A and B are shown apart, each in its own frame.
Chain A
Amino acid sequence: MGYHTSVYLLLFLPAVLVIYQLVPQKKRWIVLLLSGYAFVWMISRKLIIYLWAATLVTYYTAVRLAWTKQIRAAAVRENPDEKQELCAQFGRKEKRILFFGIGLLLAGLGYVKYFNFFAANMNLFFETAGIDLQMGTGSLILPIGISFYTLQAIGYMTDVYWNKAEVSQHLGKTALFLGFFPQIMEGPISSYSQTADQLWTGQPVNVNDLSRGTVRILWGLFKKLVIADRLYIFVRAVFDHYEEYHGVLVAAAAVAYTIQLYMEFSGCMDIVAGSAILFGVSLPENFRQPFFAVNAADFWRRWHITLGTWFRTYVFYPVSVSGPVKKWIRISRKHLSVNTSRLGVLLLTLFPVWLCNGLWHGAKWKYIFYGMYYFVILFLEGALEPVYERVLKKHSILRKAFPFQFLRILKTWCIICTGELFFRADGFRIGVCMFRSMFREFSVHELWDGTLLNFGLDKADYLAVFVGCLVVAAVEFIKEKKLPGSEGIRKQKLPVRWAAYYALILAVVIFGAYGTGYQQVDLIYAGF
């Protein structure tokens, strides 16, 4: 039951909303929690046990941390002269509790998500090395949302450890924070302070939220059904038979997949955010006009924002202030140039973040490559920044001049589409093969000589995709440039507003990719 399906939109969501409103405010959290569990049960059945286990581990760890902190504070009050020793002693204990909690959660995630990958590679190693040993592999099914709620849980426990979040003394509040049904399948990955209290309040449903939420859901459906699900047909045709295609068709498939992924993931996030708004809950945004990014670093500040924020807060910064990095900075400042020191910091801090980012997407070499691809690009961007600055100054080029900005955006598109080609390809080797085939017999005329009509899409489909993309691009342009109208359709005059509502509904109903010739496409990020 994906968020775009009629079962979710016409049955599950309205039913939960009605029950939620009928129940007294103090008990509404129970409705949300049980709905979350029903949602997970319908998809993952008994694998819901992973969510329950994660909830218990998170709750216990956070409460234990808070309790240890209280004892420390009392001990310091009683013996102020021994403050430093007591802080160090209790600090070590708190760290052990935190690491134990994180370790348990990562063990669960590691087992279901990475065990088979690890075993397969170990077996390959044993075979190559001539060692007579075999690790058994099993058919492990990934529980829905585990990659998302595990990160949320780790974030919450770490925030309690860092005194950034109030500890929840109620198991139900922790459970709801991790099991809110609109979020559980694809995020956004929120921090405890962003959503826990809102969910717990049980705010009554009101007309304003109903209208805001519905419009947001419709906008998401438009992106998913009109654009993404159509492009899926072309993308699947090329990627599934990659050996038959080369040149411009492979390049077009890479671009089409990039657009499909964005329309699908951001569309799903719109449906998720819209669903949450119906219950008076505001979730953090996951996208901010990513195709206006001027470089890869900028792109990752605009794409899957909550994942980037998570890695920055809980991996990048802790690594940046860790012993080895500090030691490097100290030594390199004494003996090397500032730039060399900076390069070392870039290497040491970016590598773990992008290795984790790649692995988070899945236990496949292509995802590790995807992470390493951005590691290399971001490293080069950081390393070449001083050279870049000098060139700009020497040639008096204004950084914000339109032609220059446009070229930078175009370059970023190339980087993004190449990355997504490897991301979508069915394995790293196939990705390399497709990338190389892009430069073979590249004939642009294949884009308009009718070749594209052999992939299951007709002219009307391409027109729907093109117009759909134009509409999304126009909305994103208005938002990016903060032009009149950027405050949203609901702030416009009545005729404009209703014309837009009708257009949106009609576009989804008439131009949505369903019925004969189309198939329902599963959400891509739900697989992570």
Chain B
Amino acid sequence: MERLMCILNELDDTIPWETEEKLIDDRILDSFKVIMLISEMENEFDIEISAEEIRPENLNSVRKMRTMIQRLQG
């Protein structure tokens, strides 16, 4: 999942991605960053992320993002 960290750091290298657990709840990731992140994830991991997946349970931390990507990859 180094690729995920690359995407995240490219998106914003000032956020301590590995330690943050409330990226959405604490509004660290705003709506536009979320869209750009989703688009990059789809491109990089060849997955399709629908609107129902855009929720804090899937995006609040790097660990949760990994779990979502693995689930969508089947």
Contacts and interface: CB of A to CB of B under 8 A. Distances in A.
B18 interface: no
A163 B52 contact: yes
A401 to B, nearest CB: 16
Contacts of B27: 301
Interface in A425-445: none
B5 interface: no
A507 B50 CA distance: 52
A326 B49 CA distance: 11
Contacts of A346: 32
Interface string B48-66: 0111101100000000000
A312 interface: yes
A382 B51 contact: no
18 contacts: A161-B52, A162-B51, A162-B52, A297-B30, A317-B31, A317-B34, A317-B54, A320-B34, A320-B38, A320-B51, A320-B54, A321-B38, A321-B50, A321-B51, A326-B39, A326-B42, A345-B32, A346-B32
A318 interface: yes
A174 interface: no
Interface in B7-61: 27, 30-32, 34-36, 38-39, 42-43, 49-52, 54-55
Given A164-B55, A301-B27, A321-B38, 19 more contacts: A162-B51, A162-B52, A317-B31, A317-B35, A317-B54, A320-B34, A320-B38, A320-B54, A326-B42, A329-B39, A333-B43, A342-B32, A345-B32, A345-B35, A345-B36, A345-B39, A346-B32, A349-B35, A382-B32
Given A301-B27, A326-B39, A329-B39, A321 B32 contact: no
B52 A164 contact: yes
Interface residues of B, number: 17
B36 to A, nearest CB: 7
Interface in A137-170: 161-164
A320 B35 contact: yes
A370 interface: no
A317 B49 CA distance: 11
A366 B34 CA distance: 31
Contacts of B35: 317, 320, 345, 349
Closest 3 CB pairs of A and B: A162-B52, A318-B51, A320-B35
Contacts of B50: 321
Contacts of B38: 320-321
Contacts of B31: 312, 316-317
Interface of A: 161-164, 297, 301, 312-313, 316-318, 320-321, 326, 329, 333, 342, 345-346, 349, 382
Contacts of A317: 31, 34-35, 51, 54
User: Which of A317, A329, A382 has the most CB atoms of chain B within a 10 A radius of its CB?
Assistant: A317
A318 B32 CA distance: 13
Contacts of A349: 35
A320 B36 CA distance: 9
User: Which of B27, B31, B42, B55 has the most CB atoms of chain A within a 10 A radius of its CB?
Assistant: B31
A146 B43 CA distance: 41
B44 to A, nearest CB: 12
Nearest to B30: A297
Nearest to B27: A301
A161 B30 CA distance: 25
Given A312-B31, A316-B31, A321 B54 contact: yes
User: Which of B27, B36, B38, B39 has the most CB atoms of chain A within a 10 A radius of its CB?
Assistant: B39
Nearest to A161: B52
Contacts of B52: 161-164
Contacts of A316: 31
